[in-house]
């Protein structure tokens, strides 16, 4: 007998067997949708007792139509694509997976950084074209030891990354107005202002969550502060980086190179995406398809936690990871 309706707004996993294994024993029917933009989600999941959300945007207008919903469980860490205030007003619990992909994103960011600093893609292309000269690269290769590595945001991923960077001898600095200098110092990281970070860093890594305050935190004014021998890495939400300003800086060779896990338009959340972003035309800007979080282990763990949060709420318990 079906007691609960649980809708998965959208998913890019091969199946939803993990979620069904956890939720069907409590009498839940688990229904997988492919509504990744979030449009018409209210109509498709009108009788939902719970929604598990991946990329679909769920604004106030949608939430107000979910009259039976008791919980919306995010598959990831960030809740910027969900109107949390509207959920609270309607008594809908919001959960996330706060420990999700901490190693994966930190390791991806480090891989990006090292790839850029050692100039691997450019040299690879040159060798395939028949040139075997280290002098082909126009900028001197920087040494890791002693280089300044700037972390925008000092949450769990940045903390993980800072610990790993120390092995290579980087001097790590961070800008985060919500974290004390004393706490950063326990990781061997110096707290600096946003301006100082952009002015002094060899590598700048955008790791902050996406909010009104962090929209284009790497924007025209801050990118203009960057050193001509510096690099920009982005493994956070695409809209934290002004893609037009970055394009101009890279095209004019005002910074050396950049590597991003997501462009500003965030293709994973759009239908019929086409690569029209001007950054894709540059030979000094590199991309991965929003894959920084992806390993078999991280994906399985995330799905388990999201489904367990739903299970707890629907059976009258407290969720493991409520968003406060």
Spatial separation of the C-alpha atoms in residues 57 and 123, rounded to whole Å = 40
Name the catalytic one among 108, 237, 303, 308: 237
| Catalytic pick among 74, 108, 290, 303 | 290
Tokens of 277: 């972003």
- C-alpha of 243 from chain center: 16
Q: Is 20 a catalytic residue?
A: no
| Helix (H/G/I), strand (E/B), else coil: 247 | helix
Separation CA 270–CA 254 (nearest Å): 31
Tokens 């919306």 belong to which residue? 72
Residue 312 CB partners (closer than 8 Å, separation 6+): 318, 319, 320
Verify whether residue 303 is a known catalytic residue.
Answer: no
Of the candidates 123, 202, 187, the one whose C-alpha atom is nearest the C-alpha of residue 156 is 187
Determine whether 145 is an active site residue. no
Catalytic residue among 29, 196, 248, 266: 266
* DSSP tag of 218: B
Q: Identify whether the C-beta of residue 223 lies closer than 8 Å to the C-beta of residue 252.
A: no
| Contact assessment for residue 233 and residue 109, using Cβ atoms and an 8 Å cutoff | yes
Phi and psi at residue 226, to the nearest 5°:
-70, 150
Q: In the 3-class helix/strand/coil scheme, how is 256-308 assigned residue by residue?
A: CEEEECCCCCCHHHCCCCCCCCHHHHCCCEEECCCCCCCCHHHHHHHHHHHHH
**Residues known to be catalytic:** 237, 266, 290
């Amino acid at each position: 007998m079906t007691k609960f309706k649980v809708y998965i707004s959208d998913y890019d996993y091969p199946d939803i067997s993990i979620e069904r294994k956890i939720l069907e024993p409590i009498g839940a029917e688990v229904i997988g949708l492919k509504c990744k933009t979030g449009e018409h989600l209210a109509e498709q999941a009108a009788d939902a007792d719970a929604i598990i959300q991946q990329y679909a945007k769920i604004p106030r207008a949608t939430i107000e139509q979910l009259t039976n919903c008791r919980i919306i469980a995010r598959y990831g860490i960030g809740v910027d694509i969900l109107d949390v205030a509207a959920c609270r007003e309607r008594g809908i619990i919001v959960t996330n997976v706060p420990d999700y992909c901490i190693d994966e994103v930190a390791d991806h960011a480090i891989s990006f950084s090292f790839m850029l600093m050692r100039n691997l893609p450019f040299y690879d292309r040159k060798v395939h074209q028949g040139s075997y000269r280290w002098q082909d690269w126009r900028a001197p290769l920087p040494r890791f030891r002693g280089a300044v590595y700037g972390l925008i945001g000092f949450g769990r991923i940045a903390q993980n990354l800072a610990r790993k960077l120390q092995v290579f001898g980087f001097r790590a600095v961070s800008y985060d107005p919500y974290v004390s200098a004393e706490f950063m110092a326990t990781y061997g990281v110096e707290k600096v202002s946003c301006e100082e970070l952009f002015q002094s860093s060899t590598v700048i890594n955008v790791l902050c969550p996406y909010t009104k305050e962090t929209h284009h935190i790497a924007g025209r004014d801050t990118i203009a502060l960057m050193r001509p021998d510096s690099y920009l890495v982005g493994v956070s939400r695409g809209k934290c980086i002004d893609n037009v300003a970055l394009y101009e800086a890279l095209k004019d060779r005002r910074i050396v190179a950049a590597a991003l896990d997501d462009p500003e338009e965030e293709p994973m959340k759009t239908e019929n995406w086409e690569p029209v972003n001007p950054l894709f035309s540059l030979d000094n800007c590199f991309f991965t398809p929003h894959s920084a979080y992806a390993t078999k282990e991280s994906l399985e763990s995330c799905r388990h936690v999201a489904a367990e949060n739903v299970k707890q709420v629907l059976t009258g318990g407290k969720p493991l990871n409520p968003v406060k």
